[in-house]
Structure 1
Amino acid sequence: MKKRSEKQHTGWAKPTEFILSLLGYVIGAGNLWRFSYLCFKNGGGAFLIPYVISACFITLPLYMFEVGLGQLTQYGRVAAWDRLPIMKGIGYGALFITVFCMIPFMWAIGWGVLYLALSFTTGPLPWTTGDNEWNTESCSALGVNITNEIVFLQDSLPQVQFWRNYVLRLPNGNPYNKNFNWQMLLASLAAFVTIFAVTVRGVK
């Protein structure tokens, strides 16, 4: 069995693949989906000032250091610290943070998996009807016409009730929401296993 220092580390076949992987890491759902919401919630343009400062002086240096350390040692984040045994805890800490941060992403991917799985039906989609056990008596697919604009009764829409009562199981007084959402658990586990199977053997 070869020692770790003698093992050949698999790398990217082309520099373009490496750059695209970095772009995929940086341009994520948080920047496209959540960033605009946080800007609006925290003062609009004024929020950009601390964001840019923290990105330039905290995030970017740490990001460049992590990428540079991987390029220099040609190892993963845990094995890269073998040359400094006293610093091994940083690698394990980074690994723990990565796994911990995957949880909300796997949950979000699980939403898509759940909707996709429920789409394979010959009948009406479950979020288009109001006669399901998670729907309330006020469930309706109609809207109210006010000043030539369609204003939907959001709490009564079957799509909204499916999202809140079936997927999220929000504690809003609906008895159905007290049931354990094992479908969402299975969808999240399927997303986690798929991502793990794709990445466990490295970039190749």
Structure 2
Amino acid sequence: TSQTTGSSPDQRPKWDNKVQYLLTCIGFAVGLGNVWRFPYLCQVYGGGAFLIPYLIALVFEGLPLLHMELAIGQRLRMGSIGVWKSISPYLVGVGVASMTVSFLVGLFYNTILAWVLWYFFHSFQNPLPWEHCPVNANHTGYLEECEKSTAVNYFWYRDTLNITPNIEISGDPQWWLVVCLASAWCIVYICFIRGIETIGKAIYVTATFPYLVLTIFLVRALTLPGATIGLRHLFTPNWETLKNPTVWLDAATQIFFSLSLAFGGLIAFSSYNPQKNNCERDALIVGCINSATSIYASIPIFAILGFKALSNYNDCLNGNIQQLTNTFNIPDMNITLENYYQRLSDLNASYPYQVGQLSLKTCNLQALLDQVQLLLDTNTALYCSILL
């Protein structure tokens, strides 16, 4: 994001068109903060209630700071370090700090990209390697380690990372992941090899393809049973959470994550614009599209969470139904998911002691929906990485 200050601003290259510039800003801003952290915060803070402090922070914090970064880069036509040095030589450290943060974030994102490439190459196998547990050495069953967890977790922790039992054991390098990481850096190098000339061409794919993938996820998620349960959980606000000051603090923090403010990248991108460009309109477009993407990405995630919660709820009921069927010698299919509570009430009225002796589970759909929020901390990482 830095640029030497010795070159004349008039000699600085310009974007081929406005679309390239806007797509670059949108592609830079939209990331894990939108498709992972935002749905997670919505789940933690009562669904739709989090949207209120988030939108307030967007209007009074996000858009003004976004406008400031675009305006200062466009006016001075320099990168982050050059801009802050022009304002005051004492502020050069601010530009250096933003460049350092961008570098560290780049290391983090390229590691995720390496994982995505690893999964992408393995996705051409049939069946998928994370679909079933591998068989043991005697071919008498599945590996015990995998059976105690899931096939997805086993492929991630054992086949992908080959994780060690504890942090004190370093383990061996995973050379195929090293190759994927080197490939990720090569992709970045190719996109940046000729500055905005190559960025402007690549951005047509890199900025629009995630929306295509997101739409595919959306259509698939909305067809799952229980999707409406998750969507109601997303858009039904829990007003009590607004009394918690942490909600407002996390909303203000999310704006920085969401818009990628203070990284210096937006300053650098806007420096390739003419000085008479309408940066106020650009800030409004980028900010609104970015926030709309956060909400758009939350819909398939919460639809999947609703499906997962309903599946767990039905499994809980089926377990209770099996106990009742075996205990009272009730014919199969006599107790169904639809009439379970009515039949349980009848049996409890007729045989209260026998029913009380059973270890029936308490099946609460709302409680199960709250429990599956843990998925936003673990398994959603791969989904978000694909979108990036």
> What amino acid maps onto 1:196 in structure 2?
Y
| Identity across matched positions, percent | 29
Query: Which of residues 54, 61, 65 in structure 1 aligns to 2:64?
Result: 61
Counterparts of 1:130-169 in structure 2, within 5 Å, are 130-131=134-135, 136-137=143-144, 139=146, 155-157=149-151, 159-169=152-162
Counterparts of 1:55-204 in structure 2, within 5 Å, are 55-83=58-86, 84-118=88-122, 126-128=129-131, 130-131=134-135, 136-137=143-144, 139=146, 155-157=149-151, 159-170=152-163, 178-204=171-197
Any conservation in 2 of the 1:10–1:202 contact (CA below 8 Å)? no
Shift of 1:15: 1.2
Higher relative contact order (CA 8 A, sep 6+): 2
Q: Deviations over 1:11-44 (max 9, x none)?
A: 2111122122222223334313331122102332
Report what 1:14 is aligned to: 17
> What amino acid maps onto 2:180 in structure 1?
A
TM-score, normalised by the number of residues in structure 1: 0.72
Separation in 2 of the partners of 1:128 and 1:18? 41
- Say whether residues 1:24 and 2:31 are aligned partners: no
| Structure 1: gaps spanning 5 or more residues | 141-152
Please, which moves more after superposition, 70-79 or 48-57?
48-57
Please, which moves more after superposition, 32-41 or 188-197?
188-197
Q: Deviations over 1:40-83 (max 9, x none)?
A: 02332232233233333333222221111221122222222342
Separation in 2 of the partners of 1:50 and 1:161? 39
Shift of 1:106: 1.3
> What amino acid maps onto 1:108 in structure 2?
I
> What amino acid maps onto 2:155 in structure 1?
F
Shift of 1:138: 5.2
Report what 1:48 is aligned to: 51
> What amino acid maps onto 2:144 in structure 1?
E
| Structure 2: gaps spanning 5 or more residues | 198-388
> What amino acid maps onto 1:105 in structure 2?
Y
Total equivalences in the alignment: 185
> What amino acid maps onto 1:195 in structure 2?
V
Shift of 1:119: 5.3
Separation in 2 of the partners of 1:58 and 1:111? 34
User: Structure 1 27/6 Cα, relative in aligned 2: closer, same or farther at 3 Å?
Assistant: closer
Separation in 1 of the partners of 2:173 and 2:8? 48
Separation in 2 of the partners of 1:48 and 1:178? 43
Separation in 2 of the partners of 1:50 and 1:171? 42
Separation in 1 of the partners of 2:38 and 2:109? 16
Q: Deviations over 1:121-157 (max 9, x none)?
A: 7x97544560489x843546xxxxxxxxxxxx8x242
Report what 2:40 is aligned to: 37
Any conservation in 1 of the 2:9–2:77 contact (CA below 8 Å)? no
TM-score, normalised by the number of residues in structure 2: 0.41
Separation in 1 of the partners of 2:145 and 2:89? 63
Separation in 1 of the partners of 2:19 and 2:46? 38
Highest CA radius of gyration, 1 or 2? 2
Shift of 1:180: 3.7
